Amino acid sequence: VDLHVTLAGRGDLSARIYRQLLDAVMDGRLRPGERLPPTRELAQRLAVSRNTVAVAYDRLTAEGFLVGRVGAGTFVHETATSGVRGRAAPTGRDVRPRRWWRTPPPPANTWRRLVANELRAPDAYSAHYLDPAGDPGLRAAIARHIGVSRWVHAGPDDVLVTQGAQQALDLIGRVTIEPGTCVTIEEPGYPQARLLFESLGARVVGVPVDAEGLDVTALPRTARLVYTTPSHQYPLGMPMSLARRTALLDWAGRHGALVVEDDYDSEFRFSERPLEPLQSLDRSGRVVYVGSFAKTTLPMLRLGFLVAPESLRQALRGARQLADWHGDPITQAAMARFIDEGLLARHIRRATREYAARHDRITAALARDFTDWLRVVPSAAGLHLCAHATGTSDDLDRVLALAADAGVGVGALAGSDGGAPARPGVVIGYGAVDPTLIDEGMAVLAASFRAVDPT
Ligand SMILES: Cc1ncc(COP(=O)(O)O)c(C=O)c1O
């Protein structure tokens, strides 16, 4: 290659040559696999000693940008790319995405097959509106699935398919909330639930949670609807204790309130025996169980469901009909097949192993390196975990900003209205992180804490 190198710049002569060659690799003028001029030739051109050029080549070779081949010369390393500007590329080992990223995700192919099958089915195209409760096959599949995986007692007729958990909350709200009705959410809690109930005219009250979940003694007597996430409290992550579950059902019975149990991500469960859902503990028809496929499959499919007591079923069907009659039957039928063929259960089993490993790795790092700054909230399910900060939220904001600058995204705990929570803390999501980068990320977070030193 006819490479243009000058001796302009700062530093000794080798450093200047090094800098220009590095720039040429980084901006693509020198491409992977390309041969560099021999040291002797470049030295002659620049009127410097051969050793001066050799020092620059050696440094770039040690940093992994160049590779020397005996008898053939010096070449730009195959993995040297502009993405690593300013950092030494690892030598010897290729930097590549995980295998999962190199091919389309397997569920995508499966999903394509299932949807194509449904589109080809002779009865795929109906000239009529369909059942507002959803595809009968999917309702049966959901009833079986949650019966096995969550001990929810339901038959196909008890299930109403929705466009995600959000529509389930919307339908429940429409049929139970009058303007001014008192609705409680957990604090901190799920902002989309708060906003939704407010939009329906409810007076929404945040009720504190502690290590056992929702503080039942703090429920206002006037509450008509209690929204809760007992399996994996959103966002803190602890499960609601059995004593609290029983107390909540008892409270609801005495006050004539409805309990909405949002079980959004509990399929990813890392403990042997989960606590029974409120729905199966309930003996008096006070619980609506809400599930979602957003975490187990993809949020954009907009698939969720609810299991309601008999007393609300007709109204919920009617509300669904008024809202959009029914969802997309093709997607619903494809999901039914996904469940019936055992693919959902298999996916959950595999993903649970993966998420459990990430959860354990992050928890171990928090217990080992962060005890001065963070107190982990014990959790055994889901795709994120939380830890309370011992310092102030201002300090924590600075820590998280430093970590973000270094490429590590960790969320700050927020209240259900998006404001400051009662206790500051962090939310660490591991649904989409590369497990091989967890230790590195946690080290960056620890360094950010040390730099701010919020003790
Ligand atoms: C508490 C909670 N409920 C439900 C959902 C899922 O909602 P949807 O099924 O509408 O996507 C989420 C998603 O993040 C959530 O955090």
Q: Tokens 């490993």, residue? A: 357
Ligand 1 centroid to Cα of residue 295, in Å, is: 8
- Locate the ligand 1 atom nearest the alpha carbon of residue 304 and give its number: 9
And the tokens for 1? 């290659």
First to last CA, the chain: 57
Ligand 1 centroid to Cα of residue 135, in Å, is: 22
Task: Determine which residue's CA is closest to atom 4 belonging to ligand 1.
Answer: 264
Phi, psi (5° rounding) for residue 351?
-65, -35
Task: Determine which residue's CA is closest to atom 3 belonging to ligand 1.
Answer: 264
Burial call 255-264: b when 16+ CB within 10 Å, e when fewer:
eebbbbbbbb
305 CB within 6 A, ligand 1: no
187, 231, 265, 298: residue to mutate for ligand 1 pocket, most atoms within 8 A of CB: 265
Ligand 1 centroid to Cα of residue 276, in Å, is: 20
235 CB within 6 A, ligand 1: no
Biggest alpha carbon distance in the chain? 94
Cβ(168)–Cβ(304) below 8 Å: yes
309 CB within 6 A, ligand 1: no
And the tokens for 45? 């051109």
166 CB within 6 A, ligand 1: yes
What DSSP string describes 425-448?
EEEEE-TT--GGGHHHHHHHHHHH
Ligand 1 centroid to Cα of residue 451, in Å, is: 35
- Locate the ligand 1 atom nearest the alpha carbon of residue 169 and give its number: 10
294 CB within 6 A, ligand 1: yes
- Locate the ligand 1 atom nearest the alpha carbon of residue 190 and give its number: 1
Ligand 1 centroid to Cα of residue 293, in Å, is: 9
Give the other-Cβ count within 10 Å of 111's Cβ.
Answer: 19
What is the rounded CA–CA span in Å between residue 344 and residue 355? 16
261 CB within 6 A, ligand 1: no
158 CB within 6 A, ligand 1: no
What is the rounded CA–CA span in Å between residue 181 and residue 202? 5
What would you report as the CA-atom Rg of the chain, rounded to the nearest whole angstrom? 29
293 CB within 6 A, ligand 1: no
Ligand 1 centroid to Cα of residue 299, in Å, is: 8
- Locate the ligand 1 atom nearest the alpha carbon of residue 299 and give its number: 11
164 CB within 6 A, ligand 1: yes
Mean pLDDT in consecutive groups of 10 residues from the start of the chain, 455 residues:
75 86 84 90 90 91 86 87 46 55 62 93 86 97 92 94 98 97 97 96 97 97 98 94 96 97 90 84 96 93 97 97 96 96 92 93 95 94 94 95 93 92 94 90 95 85
- Locate the ligand 1 atom nearest the alpha carbon of residue 164 and give its number: 9
206 CB within 6 A, ligand 1: no
Half-sphere exposure of 404 (CA within 13 A, CB side): 12
DSSP bridge pairs for 210:
213
Give the three-state DSSP class for 236: coil
Q: Are strands 425-429 and 384-389 parallel, antiparallel or unpaired?
A: antiparallel
What DSSP string describes 146-160?
HHHHH-----GGGEE
Task: Determine which residue's CA is closest to atom 2 belonging to ligand 1.
Answer: 264
Give the three-state DSSP class for 14: helix
Contacting residues for 356 by C-beta, under 8 A, at least 6 apart: 268, 270
264 CB within 6 A, ligand 1: yes
